[in-house]
Amino acid sequence: MKQVLFLFSCLITFAFSASLETFVAHPSLKTASVGIYIVSLTGDETIATHNPDLALIPASTLKAVTTATALETHGPDFTFPTKLFLSGDDLIIKGGGDPTLSASSPISEFRAWHTALKKIGLTELKGNLIADPSRFEEQRTPNNWPWGDIGNYYGAGPSGLNYHKNLYTLSFRPGKIGSLATLVGTSPKPPGVRFENFVRTGSSSSGDQAYVYTAPRGSLAILRGTIPFGGRFSIKGALPNPPLSCATAFRSYLTKKKFPVGGQAIVKSTNTANARLIHEQASPKLSVISRATNHRSVNLYADSIFKSLTAKGTTTSAASKMKFHWRRQGVDMTGFVAHDGSGLSPRNTITPRQLASIVKKAATGPQAEAFLDSLPTAGKSGTLRTFGKGTAIEGRVLAKSGSLTRVRTYTGILTQKSGKKYAFSILTNNTLSSPKKAIVSFLASCLN
């Protein structure tokens, strides 16, 4: 019997090895750096390894590490607070880093804030309307985010006072193909920002190829690229100054409600020790935000969660916290580098062994339920709703995907047909084309 089991084990090992060799030899990976690590959730058994200790760019699979760290550090019921204080004649909006503040609409919070002012008997605000984003460091954008990303919605860095996902919509009216498209308007309008528009009209099938180039707190936004011929077309940019946008928009809202504001909308750090708290609200629970982060791959959510890991609210302290948290649990973090929590930086690095080991510990740790719930299901939900749909991996793989230019990555949990579960990470850098189909096939071969 032992000989039969041994031979069966050898056959399985041989099958996995052949499948791994086929995957690594795929044409899309001819020039690529590839790392793979697949380990049992209940032991040290591995079914596939290839360059497991090679430090590679994780892209958005880093969000799995960020959310796992936060769920264990804060707990799934953690919330981000936002508070309104009255200090003399001034009203202070003190942010707590909530990335969901006014997410659904630029004015979704304002009715409650207005009501709080009326509840204490105010009929006007004589002083300034102050936005205080000091919960996080002033520098929202890491040094090494690509210039082509930071002006666009997915490159919106986190603020201590986030507002409307730190984005705004730019609407264009296309002209004739090849001609300049007209910028019709923006919503919400970024205060103090002027636009130079070089966006042209492409063919009707050209899609969204327009980009916003602007710096954090910048006053000039340059618009380049093309939009498709046809009706009005919209793109999304990153607000240069989210706290100022928030304060300006609320000031405008109050004015429209015939609630005069004598002062200006300004941004600064405040001391509220002697101020009067008139309103406090909490974000959705961290478990809810983590699910949105990983299902929709929202960079702002991930980076806000990342900076919340420490009281300092800085990238440096958050990266140190994340590294220490997993090292303390026995993961060798040599070669791990985090410049953000979202994976947008092309200078982040992690090894396949580190990534799969962290996923394994998160999937079997005290917050396993919340962590696993945050991951999309292959062929069914989130960013994986089409990944592996109609194949053997549909419904059997929970994973966070990641992609940057010439980078495709996946990490998560796969469940074999026998019911046995494995943590896995597949990192491919410098690919010639998308290896997505090859990855699906390889994962399918691991299910037997």
- Residues 395-428: tens digit of each pLDDT: 999 999 999 999 999 999 999 999 999 999 999 9
Cβ atoms 294, 398 nearer than 8 A: no
Closest to 415 in 3D by CA, of 447, 374, 370: 447
Residue 273 φ/ψ, nearest 5 degrees:
-55, -40
CATH number of 14-76+287-445: 3.40.710.10
Across the chain, mean pLDDT equals 95
**pLDDT for position 134:** 98
Distance CA 199, CA 426 (A): 38
Residue linked to tokens 């690590």: 37
SS3 track for the chain? CHHHHHHHHHHHHHHHHHHHHHHHCCHHHCCCEEEEEEEECCCCCEEEEECCCCCECCHHHHHHHHHHHHHHHHCCCCCCEEEEEEECCEEEEECCCCCCCCCCCCCCCHHHHHHHHHHCCCCCECCCEEEECCCCCCCCCCCCCCHHHHCEHHHCCCCCCCCHHHEEEEEEECCCCCCECEEEEEECCCCCCEEEECCEEECCCCCCEEEEECCCCCCEEEEEEEEECCCCEEEEEECCCHHHHHHHHHHHHHHHCCCCECCCEEECCCCCCCCEEEEEEECCCHHHHHHHHHHHCCHHHHHHHHHCCCCCCCHHHHHHHHHHHHHCCCCCCCCCECCCCCCCCCCCEECHHHHHHHHHHHHHCCCHHHHHHHCCECCCCHHHCCCCCCCCCCCCEEEEEEEECCEEEEEEEEECCCCCEEEEEEEEECCCCCCHHHHHHHHHHCCC
- 177: which residues sit within 8 A by CB, 6+ positions away? 201, 202, 203, 229
> What residue spans define the domains of the chain?
14-76+287-445, 81-136+243-276, 147-238
Cβ atoms 201, 232 nearer than 8 A: no
Decide which of 3.30.70.260, 1.10.167.10, 3.50.80.20, 3.40.640.10 is the CATH code for 81-136+243-276: 3.50.80.20
Q: What is the pLDDT along the chain (448 residues), one digit of tens a residue?
A: 444 333 344 434 445 666 899 999 999 999 999 999 999 999 999 999 999 999 999 999 999 999 999 999 999 999 999 999 999 999 999 999 999 999 999 999 999 999 999 999 999 999 999 999 999 999 999 999 999 999 999 999 999 999 999 999 999 999 999 999 999 999 999 999 999 999 999 999 999 999 999 999 999 999 999 999 999 999 999 999 999 999 999 999 999 999 999 999 999 999 999 999 999 999 999 999 999 999 999 999 999 999 999 999 999 999 999 999 999 999 999 999 999 999 999 999 999 999 999 999 999 999 999 999 999 999 999 999 999 999 999 999 999 999 999 999 999 999 999 999 999 999 999 999 999 999 999 999 999 8
The number of angstroms, rounded, from the C-alpha of 243 to the middle of its chain's C-alpha atoms is: 19
Residue linked to tokens 């760290």: 69
Residue linked to tokens 């060799």: 21
**pLDDT for position 217:** 94
**pLDDT for position 17:** 64
Which two tokens mark 271?
């001391």
Cβ atoms 91, 85 nearer than 8 A: yes
